[in-house]
């Protein structure tokens, strides 16, 4: 048996006036999805909890079977893992942004002028080299991924060091009022101050000043995380798995769970997804988990037309070739399609209601095409109340075949 899971952030939505009171999922033209819906189990599932706001990482942790209330340990470590940055389970990973600070003498009185200026490849190389050479000490070391995103590895660091502040909302404000709220504020603010001493004198900023571009003269710590201690996917389910995703934290989580992990750029209309999936399925991987954030991005922008197009692209570029590949393989297979969380185009934010899912089993009897949308899923009467049960339900679907 082969298993394919297709998880779309923000796929579920509410009715939109401009779509004749349909949701983007029901308004989209999805002939392959409609054909599968004619012989499948549909229902709704709870992928959120009362503690966390719906978001991509935590809802996907639920779907993969790892309750975030037990296993969530922050995003930075997962992002670092996905990029191949090495650290131990005892270390704390601090994610950072490059910022431009004003020139007051007292570091605590400086203001954040701008955040995350565009860097050329040459600038990324120069800044990373400087900070790797000069910023580290016995406690902190600097690291960066292939895209130049900066991290600080806190050796045997405090796993819950306090409250950190993202720099974007505090542009124009004094740094000292937004230092980490932590018992470790002195070493943490000290490492940021040291980064200023290094970068403010760097030749890169002389060149940027000459061109009238914002300086990149400090590293600002904005979040923290540790490597989660979780059971491997293969031990948990007794099958092997791979994840294909356009979210680096989910790619990192998959690696932590011992799954093969592939990062994609969904801006290419998912053209690389089937290739990765075919490769894994041909090599003997039993479950392929495909995840995309693209529908949620469209909803957050209030762009319902783009969301409809994204649903149609998923049908054409992912579901159709995978279904055909699995049919041609001659093996029995199941496909699950699920919205990881709902996201409303009207209000431009995630919502916490249960989400629709469908499970197709190649052994089910043929029937006429139907539809898969929020209404059909809610009317089915099937409800998975605990998110971490979803994948086990899909794998153990022997007793849920459609007649």
Q: What is the mean pLDDT of the chain?
A: 93
The predicted pLDDT at position 369 comes to 62
Binned at pLDDT 50, 70 and 90, residue 124 comes out as confident
Interatomic CA distance for residues 6 and 211, integer angstroms: 46
Interatomic CA distance for residues 78 and 60, integer angstroms: 13
Of all residues in the chain, the percent with pLDDT exceeding 90 is 84
Evaluate whether the domain defined by 2-71+230-400 bears CATH number 3.40.720.10: yes
- 233 φ/ψ angles, rounded to the nearest 5 degrees: -60, -45
Interatomic CA distance for residues 320 and 329, integer angstroms: 14
Interatomic CA distance for residues 256 and 75, integer angstroms: 12
Q: Find the angle CA(120)-CA(84)-CA(164) to the nearest 5 degrees.
A: 75
Q: Look up residue 272 and give its two tokens.
A: 């690389």
Interatomic CA distance for residues 60 and 364, integer angstroms: 27
Q: What is the pLDDT of residues 253-305, one digit of tens each?
A: 999 999 999 999 877 779 899 999 999 999 999 999 999 999 999 999 999 99
The predicted pLDDT at position 3 comes to 98
The predicted pLDDT at position 399 comes to 45
CB 359 within 8 A of CB 400: yes
Lowest mean pLDDT among 350-359, 364-373, 393-402: 393-402
Q: What is the pLDDT of residues 38-92, one digit of tens each?
A: 888 999 999 998 877 899 999 999 999 999 999 999 999 999 999 999 999 999 9
Q: Looking at the DSSP assignment, which residues form a beta bridge with residue 262?
A: 244
**DSSP secondary structure string, 45-99?**
E----SSSPP-HHHHHHHHHT--HHHH---SHHHHHHHTT----TT-EEEEEEEE
Binned at pLDDT 50, 70 and 90, residue 136 comes out as confident
Q: How far is CA 283 from CA 4, 48, 82, 115, 275, in A?
A: 14, 34, 22, 44, 12
The predicted pLDDT at position 366 comes to 63
- Length of the chain in residues, anyone? 403
Q: Look up residue 191 and give its two tokens.
A: 């490492």
The predicted pLDDT at position 403 comes to 35
Interatomic CA distance for residues 282 and 294, integer angstroms: 27
pLDDT average, residue stretch 308-329:
97
CB 290 within 8 A of CB 4: yes
- Tell me: pLDDT of 402 over 50: no
The predicted pLDDT at position 401 comes to 41
Q: How far is CA 190 from CA 94, 182, 195, in A?
A: 14, 13, 9
CB 101 within 8 A of CB 196: yes
The predicted pLDDT at position 53 comes to 81
Place of tokens 């979210």: 247
CB 199 within 8 A of CB 205: yes
Q: What is the pLDDT of residues 367-397, one digit of tens each?
A: 656 889 999 999 999 999 999 999 999 999 7
The predicted pLDDT at position 398 comes to 56
- Domain layout of the chain by residue ranges: 2-71+230-400, 80-225
pLDDT average, residue stretch 329-356:
95
pLDDT average, residue stretch 23-42:
94
Run of H or E including 360 = strand 355-361
Interatomic CA distance for residues 46 and 82, integer angstroms: 27
Interatomic CA distance for residues 54 and 138, integer angstroms: 38
Interatomic CA distance for residues 166 and 145, integer angstroms: 19
How many CB atoms are closer than 10 A to CB 212? Answer: 6
- 84 φ/ψ angles, rounded to the nearest 5 degrees: 80, 15
- The stretches of 213-272 forming alpha helices (DSSP H) are 233-237, 248-256
Q: What is the pLDDT of residues 296-310, one digit of tens each?
A: 999 999 999 999 999
Q: What is the pLDDT of residues 196-220, one digit of tens each?
A: 999 999 999 988 888 888 999 999 9
Q: Look up residue 159 and give its two tokens.
A: 């796993």
DSSP letter at 314? I
CB 359 within 8 A of CB 31: no
Interatomic CA distance for residues 149 and 95, integer angstroms: 8
Interatomic CA distance for residues 149 and 137, integer angstroms: 20
């Amino acid at each position: 048996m082969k298993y394919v899971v297709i998880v779309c952030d923000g796929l579920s939505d509410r009715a939109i006036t401009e779509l004749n009171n349909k949701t983007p999922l029901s308004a989209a033209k999805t002939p392959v999805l409609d054909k599968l819906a004619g012989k499948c189990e549909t229902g709704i599932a709870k992928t959120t909890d009362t503690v966390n706001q719906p978001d991509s990482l935590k809802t996907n942790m639920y779907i993969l079977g790892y309750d975030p209330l037990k296993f969530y340990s922050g995003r930075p470590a997962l992002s670092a893992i996905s990029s191949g940055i090495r650290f131990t389970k005892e270390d704390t990973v601090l994610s950072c942004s490059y910022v431009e600070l004003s020139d007051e003498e007292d570091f605590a009185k400086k203001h954040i002028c701008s955040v995350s200026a565009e860097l050329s490849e040459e600038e990324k190389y120069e800044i990373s080299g400087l900070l790797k050479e000069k910023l580290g000490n016995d406690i902190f070391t600097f690291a960066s991924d292939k895209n130049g995103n900066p991290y600080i590895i806190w050796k045997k660091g405090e796993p819950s060091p306090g409250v950190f502040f993202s720099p974007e909302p505090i542009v124009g404000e004094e740094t000292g009022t937004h230092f980490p709220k932590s018992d470790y504020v002195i070493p943490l603010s000290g490492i940021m101050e040291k980064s200023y001493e290094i970068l403010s004198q760097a030749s890169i900023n002389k060149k940027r000043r000459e061109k009238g571009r914002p300086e990149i003269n400090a590293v600002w710590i904005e979040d923290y995380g540790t490597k989660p201690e979780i059971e491997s996917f293969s031990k948990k389910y007794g099958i092997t798995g791979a994840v294909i995703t356009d979210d680096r934290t989910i790619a990192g989580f998959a690696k932590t769970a011992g799954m093969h992990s592939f990062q994609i750029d969904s801006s290419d209309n998912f053209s690389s997804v089937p290739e990765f999936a075919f490769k894994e399925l041909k090599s003997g991987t039993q479950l392929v988990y495909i995840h995309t954030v693209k529908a949620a991005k469209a909803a957050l922008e209030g762009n319902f037309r783009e969301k409809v197009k994204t649903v149609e692209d998923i049908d054409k570029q992912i579901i159709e070739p995978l279904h055909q590949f699995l049919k041609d393989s001659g093996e029995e297979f199941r496909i699950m399609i699920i919205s990881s969380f709902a996201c409303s185009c009207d209000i431009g934010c995630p919502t916490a209601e249960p989400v629709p899912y469908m499970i197709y089993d190649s052994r089910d009897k043929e029937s006429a095409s139907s539809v898969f949308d929020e209404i059909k899923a809610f009317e089915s009467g099937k409800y998975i109340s605990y998110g971490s049960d979803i994948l086990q339900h899909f794998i153990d679907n022997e007793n849920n075949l459609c007649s």
